[in-house]
Structure 1
Amino acid sequence: MTVKSLVFKITLALVLLLCLLGIYTAFTWIMGDLYGYKVRYAVEQWQEQDGLPKVADINQVIEDVDSAIGWEVDNPQYHELKARALYYKALAVGVDDEGLIYIESAKKSHILAISLRPKWPYSWANLVLMKSYLKEWDDEYSAALDNAVRFGPWEQSVHLTLAHAGALSWTHLSIEQKKAIAANVERGIVRNMQGIAFNLDAYKKRSLVCAYMQRDERQKKFCSKR
């Protein structure tokens, strides 16, 4: 066998190997997206409907998202979707001892999503919310709050999630954290006053948050409504 022939065979083998690798990678993307699409569609439907989904439906979505993750373990969106499905399950069974198990699992999935996409504000905001339910007002909580505001200062979903988390945690927050939540509310009521009010009123915290907001016409309108 000549040197030229040997080089040709090695090159051909490498090309074939790269082609197979490309085919396998494309196949994993397709399979992951097949399951991921089902999960995204279901979660979007839950967000728009009145009331909570059935536990059986949530379990099916969790099974589907686990399949998606099995094909694409490094896809941050799938971990984020799993966290949201787990949160729905916690709400469906009740946020008590059993529900908190799913909240803890959702927290871990949000942390995984953050490790893969560290500048995604929704994951940071949802981590704040999960830790609020778990009563974990620690350094990780503060970092998550800071990053949610830093990376998504004008994202409506971030506004709603942090308003919910802030109302849930208000009496345990530092003054600086309360100021951060109030500033988030100020930005949120620019486009979604009703949604922000709903989250604060659910925990009867609107007047407390209003005390930390800047005094202007928008604040006056928001804080005078009951």
Structure 2
Amino acid sequence: MLRSLRRPDSRRPDIAPPALVRASIAAVLLLLGYALSVAARTGLADVYAEPAKSYLQTKREAGEVLTRDEWQALYGSLARALALAPGDPDNLSELARLHRILLEADDLDAGEISRYGDAGAGYYRAALALRPTWPWDWGNLALVKYQQYQDTSAVYQDALVRAVEFGPREPSLQDRVAELGAGSWWALSPAAARAVLTAADRALERDAQSFSGRSDAKERWRPLCTRAGDFFAHIKRHCEALGLT
């Protein structure tokens, strides 16, 4: 009988060296520990952030002004939440909102407007770096720059464009862009002007009576009517009703 031509395999089975096994286990445990740490920190961040967000929203819906102590307490809670979860854009956006609220005061000097506005804009831009298609952060960034009288800035104009681009189904955001743009029309670049016309046309299409009632001054509409031409049907009809065509 012929012997098999295949030689017996005298090699040992492939078994990883003990040191490699230990290293692999250690790496897995390290990753698991890191994941658990992140989850724990995120959960703890929510403990600080959620009550602050809820309290702030309740005050805003009631039309109540935050006291200085309330503002400081909310800022402290949100800052602690951000320290625990630095990659959370919601906390960044809420911190921006807090600083934007400061800009609503009537007795601010130029230094305060600059300081509060720069802080708010910085938080909004940090949030947008994490979620660049979030339309409300773009709209609020534009509002901050408008409140800082920075209508000609590239940041303001780009924020208007992005808010319209990413928030076509956000009616109140479209209204805001149209209002801001009408109030700063003289400063707008061609791209920003087109975004404002788009927002105004959408607002008139959705609820012409409500939107035009807030912005019915002829002088505010005159430049929009001149620029809109035949490309924005709802603006054209509104301008005809105002006798501006």
TM over 0.5: yes
Q: Which moved more, 1:206-215 or 1:59-68?
A: 206-215
Of the candidates 76, 80, 87, which is equivalent to residue 93 of structure 2?
80
Higher relative contact order (CA 8 A, sep 6+): 1
Q: Does 1:172 align with 2:187?
A: yes
DSSP-derived class of the 1:105 partner: helix
Alpha-carbon distance change, 88 to 26 in structure 1, aligned in 2, over 3 angstroms: same
Q: 1:181: which partner in 2?
A: 196
> Counterparts of 1:105 and 1:129 in 2: how far apart (Å)?
13
Q: 1:146: which partner in 2?
A: 161
Q: Which moved more, 1:96-105 or 1:66-75?
A: 96-105
Alpha-carbon distance change, 3 to 120 in structure 1, aligned in 2, over 3 angstroms: closer
- For structure 1, which runs of at least 5 residues remain unmatched after alignment? none
Q: Find the structure with the greater CA-based Rg.
A: 2
Paired residue type of 2:153: D
Q: Which moved more, 1:77-86 or 1:54-63?
A: 54-63
> Counterparts of 2:213 and 2:68 in 1: how far apart (Å)?
25
Structure 1 segments, 4+ long, off by >3 Å, are: 2-5, 92-96, 174-179, 189-201, 203-210, 212-221
Within a 5 Å distance, the mapping from 1:45-60 to structure 2 comes to 45-60=58-73
> Counterparts of 1:134 and 1:176 in 2: how far apart (Å)?
21
Alpha-carbon distance change, 199 to 62 in structure 1, aligned in 2, over 3 angstroms: farther
Report if aligned partners of 2:204, 2:235 keep a CA contact under 8 Å in 1: no
* TM-score, length-scaled by structure 1: 0.80
Deviation at 1:88, TM superposition (A): 0.8
Q: 2:8: which partner in 1?
A: none
Alpha-carbon distance change, 28 to 195 in structure 1, aligned in 2, over 3 angstroms: farther
Deviation at 1:105, TM superposition (A): 0.9
Within a 5 Å distance, the mapping from 1:1-226 to structure 2 comes to 4-92=17-105, 94-97=107-110, 98-136=112-150, 137-174=152-189, 177-191=192-206, 196=211, 200=215, 206-208=220-222, 211=225, 214-216=232-234, 220=238
> Counterparts of 1:132 and 1:104 in 2: how far apart (Å)?
12
Task: Report the count of equivalent residues.
Answer: 222
> Counterparts of 1:41 and 1:13 in 2: how far apart (Å)?
42
Alpha-carbon distance change, 94 to 154 in structure 1, aligned in 2, over 3 angstroms: farther
DSSP-derived class of the 2:184 partner: helix
> Counterparts of 2:179 and 2:44 in 1: how far apart (Å)?
35
Query: Greater helix share, 1 or 2?
Result: 1
Alpha-carbon distance change, 192 to 104 in structure 1, aligned in 2, over 3 angstroms: farther
DSSP-derived class of the 1:50 partner: coil
Deviation at 1:198, TM superposition (A): 7.2
Paired residue type of 2:199: N
Q: Which moved more, 1:145-154 or 1:43-52?
A: 43-52
Alpha-carbon distance change, 204 to 55 in structure 1, aligned in 2, over 3 angstroms: farther
Q: For 1:175-196, what per-residue CA distance to the aligned partner results, in whole angstroms no more than 9, with x for missing partners?
A: 6534422321221344466774
Deviation at 1:41, TM superposition (A): 1.2
- For structure 2, which runs of at least 5 residues remain unmatched after alignment? 1-14
Deviation at 1:162, TM superposition (A): 1.4
DSSP-derived class of the 2:87 partner: coil
